[in-house]
Amino acid sequence: MAHEVLIVGVNHHTAPVEVRERLALGDSGTFEQFLRELVEIPGVHEAVALSTCNRVEVVTCCDGGPGLANELGMRLLRRGGIDPGEGRNYLFELRGREAVRHVFRVASSLDSLVVGEPQILGQMKAQFAKSAAAHAAGPILHRVFHKGFSVAKRVRTETGVASRAVSVASVAVDLASKIFESLDNRTVMLIGAGEIGEAAARSFMSAGAVSVMVANRTFETAVELARAFNGTPIPLDRMRMYLPLADLVVGSAGGGQLLDRNDVRALMKERKNRPVFFIDLAVPRNFDPGINDVDNAYLYDIDDLDAVVSENLGERKREAIRGEAIVEQEVDRFWRWMEQLDAVPTIVELRDLAERIRREEVERTLPRLNGLSEHDREAIEAMTKAILNKLLHHPTAVLKEDRSSEEHVALLAALRELFRLGGER
Q: What are phi and psi of 370, to 5 degrees?
A: -80, 150
Q: Is 191 helix (H, G, I), strand (E, B) or coil?
A: strand
**Residue 28 parent element (H or E):** helix 28-39
- The C-alpha angle with vertex 185 and arms to 183 and 187, in degrees rounded to 5, equals 85
Give CA 178 to chain center in angstroms.
30
Q: How far apart are CA 334 and CA 196, in angstroms?
A: 43
Give CA 191 to chain center in angstroms.
36
Give the burial string for 331-356 (b: 16+ CB within 10 Å, else e). Answer: beebbeebbeebbeebbeebeeebee
* Residues in contact with 37: Cβ distance below 8 Å, sequence separation at least 6, in sequence order: 75
Q: Is 55 helix (H, G, I), strand (E, B) or coil?
A: strand
Amino acid at 130: K
Length of the chain (residues): 425
**Residue 331 parent element (H or E):** helix 302-365
* Residues in contact with 339: Cβ distance below 8 Å, sequence separation at least 6, in sequence order: 403, 405, 408
State the catalytic residues.
53
